Amino acid sequence: MNPLRHVAIIMDGNGRWGLKYKNSRNAGHKAGLKTVEKIIKETIKHKVKFLTLYAFSTENWRRPKKEINFLFSLLETFLTNRVDELHNQDIKLKIIGEKSFSEKLNNLLNNAEKKTFRNKKLQLNLALNYGSKFELINAFKKLKKNNKKINEKNLSLFLQTKNIPDPEILIRTGDTKRLSNFLLWQLAYSEIFFEKKLWPEFNEKDYTKIIKKFKNIKRNFGNI
């Protein structure tokens, strides 16, 4: 059976779910947050050590201001109300992406990272204002600035995922088949699962099914 240390997820379909059932995209994001909580718990049950969730891409700034503000207020409420609970569950929170938000949100994020830094059960990486191309360009610039040889090992030391193993699994919900500038380097050998369900509909059973399927895949890494 394949070892599984890291699952990455593109949580797509909140807007469509919200419009379909509540006539509001934002209601979809609120429902999406409930799925986030379920999936965190299930990840721990499966003893997976790293979970990376794509919560806001560098391209998401193109959305209407009202939706962006709602997403960030949701995140602020989540951090204010839930960080103690994450901490008690031994979960380490790490932000990947550029932390250039309001002072209040930046402080909440920094404090949550600091508070949970030593936790061991699960590392929850939230990709916020994250774009993989930007991350890669920055990493190459840093290699050059530090006069380092360009190779895989050195490059990975300058990525935001430094010290995090590459995901064995990528899940994208919402019936769309693209990577949307997410972890392009780190996903080079990941098994990709595209899921028809919208993110608020995705549940523990769907997740477990994917994990079981993954464990039985023959992974060759270019070999035969």
Binding residues for ligand FPP, per CB under 6 A?
A: 11-16, 29, 32-33, 36, 55, 60, 71, 74-75, 78, 126, 174, 199
Residue of closest CB approach to ligand FPP: 15
The rounded distance, in Å, linking the Cα atoms of 32 and 51 is: 16
CB of 139 to ligand FPP, least distance (A): 24
Instruction: Assess contact for 2 and 217: CB atoms under 8 A.
Output: yes
Residue 30 vs 148, nearer CB to ligand FPP: 30
Of the candidates 189, 179, 200, which has an alpha carbon nearest to the alpha carbon of residue 54?
A: 179
CB of 46 to ligand FPP, least distance (A): 19
- Which burial class, exposed, middle or buried, applies to 152 when counting CB atoms under 10 A from its CB (0-12, 13-18, 19+)? exposed
Cβ neighbours of residue 117 closer than 8 Å, sequence gap 6 or more: 92
70 Cα distance to chain centroid: 19
CB of 79 to ligand FPP, least distance (A): 8
Residue 59 vs 90, nearer CB to ligand FPP: 59
Instruction: Assess contact for 29 and 16: CB atoms under 8 A.
Output: no
Residue 11 vs 183, nearer CB to ligand FPP: 11
Residue 158 vs 174, nearer CB to ligand FPP: 174
CB of 163 to ligand FPP, least distance (A): 22
Task: Provide the annotated active-site residues.
Answer: 12, 60
